[in-house]
Amino acid sequence: MAKLLALIVVVAALSVPAAQAPASAAPPDNFNPRPGATFNSPLGSVTDRRTIFRKIIRSINSTPKGENINIFSWNFLTREGTDALLRAQGRGVRVRLLMDNRNNVEIPNAPFRRLRSELARHNKGRKPARKSWARTCMGSCRGSTGSAHSKFFMFSQAGKVKRVVMQGSANLTLASTNNQWNDIYTHTRSKNVWRFYNKIFREAKRDRRAAKPYVSQRFESNFRLIQFPMATRNDPVMQLLNQVRCSGAKNTASGKTRIRIAPDVIRQDRGMRLARKVRSLWNNGCDIKIGYTVVGIDVGRMLRAPGPRGPVPMRHLVQDVNGDGEFDNYFHLKAMSVVGKLGKNNRAYAVLNGSANWSGLSAVSDENLGIYRSKRDTLRYQSHIDYWYNRFSSGSARQAVPQFRGATTPPPGERLVFGSDANAVYEDGTPYSTTGVDPYAHMAGD
């Protein structure tokens, strides 16, 4: 963690310009964001890494005078983002940004602090309704505990496209680009989608419990948008899993329903409930693969326990690139695709995405989810998860198989790591590191 904090301090220091010029009124870009799913990879070219980041930044740069930008990002840590938002304010755009307070008080977040200060300074002479701001929430913005973990981006107009809303797993940080696999799903032109998120944002900016924190709304019969905090009985992930029938699919070659899961985190009581359901579907014959970053020790043991079909197939989708024991790159999606039989529909397609991990913390936090009953979108997510699941398996992407001086080298294969620092152990209790390195240190800023 000390290494991570030192890195953040250096990055933050580099994020402060030598002289802060007034917000520029430069003309906007001419980018027209397209609807649908967008993915990035921390591997490969700059283009591959910055696919989502570039889409958000170009949308900011393409928002014309008189329009509005609303951003809810668990963490905001990017000098380029600060510059783009200040330029937007300079040309007459109202800019409003929400972030979890811990990402300002626990790290030296120079880009956020500069944005907050400069937005306030350049509000002079503007009508109250057109003033810009950057704020934080103490815990969840619309709940009583948890965290402000949502990740959605709203542009009343970007280029020639009206009412652009992007929601998914990506924060507006460089870590989301350089260290994480992420996704966003973009909606355009829909008045109803805009109203849904605009209401959520209005409630969130007050930083107090909303009258109805859990909100679920269906749109145009083929997708559903959801906002946490939630009540356990309303868990939309469980609702989707409860509809799955493992046999009788007419849109898979095997006739078995195919489920691909990349939830980032599976832990705590909620994670166990969902994992038990997945295990029962595996036992019933569903075709399942799970790519994860963090799994609770009890959840991991349950999923990997022997049974009639053996353990549920799982891959630890993380990379320790330099062998220092810290996971440098990791899957940050919170997605699940289902192809097969859902209820009475034996040719169903459904994909769930958003900001919510499979954990108890997510249940009490601000989280955005989408469930899309679209063949094209579902197959894109399925293909994306399968590609990386298989790529890690084949060794063409370097897996996190750390080696420590004086420590026992783990055998090849998928081994779960639990705990952190000197307390980190493998599933059988073997010490993960004799040096006290925290494998999850970089994930403190995700």
**CATH number where 31 lies:** 3.30.870.10
Residues 119 and 253 in one domain: no
Highest-confidence range of 5-9, 93-97, 228-232, by mean pLDDT?
93-97
- The pLDDT score that the predictor gives to residue 435 is 62
What the block records as the tokens of 143 is 């709940």
Residues 134, 62, single domain; the answer is yes
Q: What is the pLDDT of residues 262-301, one digit of tens each?
A: 999 999 999 999 999 999 999 999 999 999 999 988 999 9
Domain identity same for 116 and 234: no
Please give the distance of CA 303 from its chain centroid, rounded to a whole number: 23
Residues 134-157: b if buried by 16+ CB within 10 A, e if exposed: bbbbebbbbbeebbbbbbbbbbbb
> Looking at the domain assignment, is residue 96 inside a domain?
yes
Higher pLDDT among residues 165 and 16, named by residue? 165
The pLDDT of residue 424: 63
What pLDDT, on a 0 to 100 scale, did the predictor assign at position 98?
A: 98
101 and 25 part of one domain: yes
State residue 52's pLDDT score. 98
Q: Does residue 427 lie within any of the structural domains?
A: no
**Separation CA 250–CA 284 (nearest Å):** 17
Residue, of 386 and 12, whose pLDDT is higher: 386
Q: CB burial class (10 A; 0-12, 13-18, 19+) of residue 35?
A: middle
pLDDT of residue 328: 86
Q: How many domains does the chain have?
A: 2
Answer yes or no: are the C-beta atoms of 298 and 272 closer than 8 Å: yes
Report how far residue 16's alpha carbon sits from residue 28's, in angstroms, rounded to the nearest whole number. 23
pLDDT of residue 16: 41
Contacts of residue 155, Cβ cutoff 8 Å, sequence gap at least 6: 33, 59, 60, 62, 63, 67, 68, 69, 163, 164, 165
Give yes or no for a contact between 167 and 149, defined as CB atoms under 8 angstroms apart: no
Using CA atoms, how far apart are residues 76 and 66, in angstroms rounded to an integer? 24
- Kindly indicate the confidence band of residue 339, based on its pLDDT and cuts at 50, 70 and 90: very high
Q: In terms of residue numbers, what domain contains 71?
A: 2-213
For 342, phi then psi, to 5°, come to -120, 115
When mean pLDDT is compared across 9-13, 355-359, 368-372, the lowest value belongs to: 9-13
- Separation between Cα atoms, residue 28 and residue 249, nearest integer Å: 49
207: in domain? yes
- What confidence score (pLDDT) does residue 25 get? 56
Q: Which residue matches tokens 């549920």?
A: 312
